[in-house]
């Protein structure tokens, strides 16, 4: 049983249920097409990373999945098409999106930011969950009544991640969590993602420019160039691939 789990990690999650399956994804903003037919998938409890340079279409890909832009192609979440669904409905199906630049609500308190993260929930365990994420990120507890806009970048990213997790998602989308943060903070952030993934089995799809860190915690990776997947494979393979190393790891 445990062996099988290990096996499935190594063989790109083939034995696990498929969470997200995207085929021939095309879309963009108005007249400008950014995505030119992407295929990728995410299996249960995997961390999958999408790497790419600025403007390659990473953010657009995540926005397509969470229903923020119009697309063609197929986006299936747990076997159900979410391609035409709007963002608020996709959240209700279990996809939480931490947008680029954190997207915290600067005028609201830290606690209210978390509370709004639970907006779609109808159970009465919201307070419990808030305390749970305060345990994971104690600095947020200290600042619970402070306005989110007054937090540092790293703290805002912790808040944005906690807020997304407050919806008790089935799939967490993370858009360049490392953006604008000091290397030590980024390292800590990714370690925490790996911990959350290990402890809760949370499935994560991360887009990143920081390939080294992202691949260190990821199971698999895709490389996106000009709106197309140019490369994909297990994370450690990508880490050691010469082409990838030259293009994204700066070595």
Partner 1 sequence: MDFNLLLDRLFLGLSNGSTYALIALALVMIFKATTLINFAQGEFAMIGAFFVFVLSVEQGLPVWIAVFLGMVISALAAAGIERTLIRPFDPSDHLPLVIITLGLFLAINALAAMIWGFNTRAFPALFPSGNALTIGTATLSWYTVGVVFVTFATAGALTLLLNRTKIGLAFRAVSSNLESSELVGVRVGPTLQFGWAIAAAVGTLGASVYVANPILSLEPSVMIRVLIFAVSAAALGGLDSVWGAIAGGIAIGMVQSIVVPYAKIPNELALGAAVVVLMLVLLFKPSGLFGTPQVERV
Residues that bind partner 1 in the complex, under the rule CB under 8 A: 66, 68, 86-88, 91-92, 96-97, 99, 101-108, 112, 115-117, 119-120, 149-153, 156, 163-164, 167, 180
**Nearest residue (CB) to partner 1, 9 versus 83:** 83
The C-alpha atoms of residue 71 and residue 47 are separated, in whole angstroms, by 24
Least Cβ distance, residue 55 to partner 1 (angstroms): 20
**In this complex, which beta carbon is closest to partner 1, that of residue 13 or of residue 169?**
169
- Report in angstroms how near the CB of residue 91 gets to partner 1 at its nearest: 4
Between 107 and 242, whose beta carbon lies closer to partner 1?
A: 107
The CB-of-164 to partner 1 minimum distance in angstroms stands at 8
Query: Taking the chain, what is the end-to-end CA distance rounded to the nearest angstrom?
Result: 39
Phi, psi (degrees; rounded to nearest 5) at 214: -65, -45
164 or 238: CB nearest partner 1: 164
Nearer of residues 55 and 106 to partner 1, judged by Cβ: 106
Please state, in angstroms and rounded to a whole number, the distance separating the CA atoms of residues 59 and 50.
10
Closest distance of CB 166 from partner 1, Å: 8
DSSP state of 149: G
Closer residue to partner 1, CB minimum distance, 114 or 229? 114
Q: At its nearest, how many Å lie between partner 1 and the CB of residue 120? A: 4
Burial class (CB in 10 A: 0-12, 13-18, 19+), 115: middle
The helix (H) or strand (E) run that includes residue 74 is: strand 71-77
Residue placing its CB nearer to partner 1 in the complex, 105 or 194: 105
Q: How far is the CB of 127 from partner 1 (least distance, A)?
A: 14
**Helix-strand-coil percent breakdown of the chain, rounded to 5?**
40, 25, 30
Q: Cα angle vertex 231, ends 71, 205, to 5°? A: 55
Alpha-carbon span 79 to 66, nearest angstrom: 16
Give the count of beta carbons closer than 10 Å to the beta carbon of residue 243.
Answer: 11
Q: Is 26 left (phi over 0), alpha (psi -120 to 50) or beta?
A: beta
Q: How far is the CB of 76 from partner 1 (least distance, A)?
A: 20
């Amino acid at each position: 049983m445990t062996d099988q789990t290990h096996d499935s990690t190594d063989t790109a999650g083939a034995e696990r249920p498929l969470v997200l399956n995207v085929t021939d994804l095309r879309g963009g903003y108005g007249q400008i097409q950014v995505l030119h037919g992407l295929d990728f998938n995410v299996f249960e409890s995997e961390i999958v990373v999408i790497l790419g340079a600025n403007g390659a279409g990473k953010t657009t890909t995540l926005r397509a999945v969470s229903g923020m832009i119009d697309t063609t192609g197929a986006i299936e979440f747990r076997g159900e098409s979410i391609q035409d669904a709007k963002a608020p409905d996709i959240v209700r199906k279990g996809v939480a999106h931490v947008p680029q630049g954190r997207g915290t609500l600067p005028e609201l308190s830290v606690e209210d930011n978390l509370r709004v993260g639970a907006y779609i929930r109808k159970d009465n365990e919201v307070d419990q969950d808030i305390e749970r994420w305060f345990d994971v990120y104690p600095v947020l507890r200290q600042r619970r009544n402070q306005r989110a806009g007054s937090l540092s970048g790293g703290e805002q990213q912790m808040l944005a991640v906690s807020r997304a997790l407050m919806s008790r998602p089935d799939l967490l989308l993370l858009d360049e969590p490392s953006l604008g943060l000091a290397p030590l903070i980024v390292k800590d952030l990714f370690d925490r993602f790996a911990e959350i993934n290990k402890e809760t089995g949370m499935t994560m799809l991360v887009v990143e420019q920081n390939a080294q860190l992202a691949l260190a915690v990821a199971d698999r990776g895709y490389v996106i160039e000009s709106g197309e997947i140019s490369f994909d494979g297990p994370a450690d393979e990508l880490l050691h691939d010469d082409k990838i190393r030259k293009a994204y790891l700066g070595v």
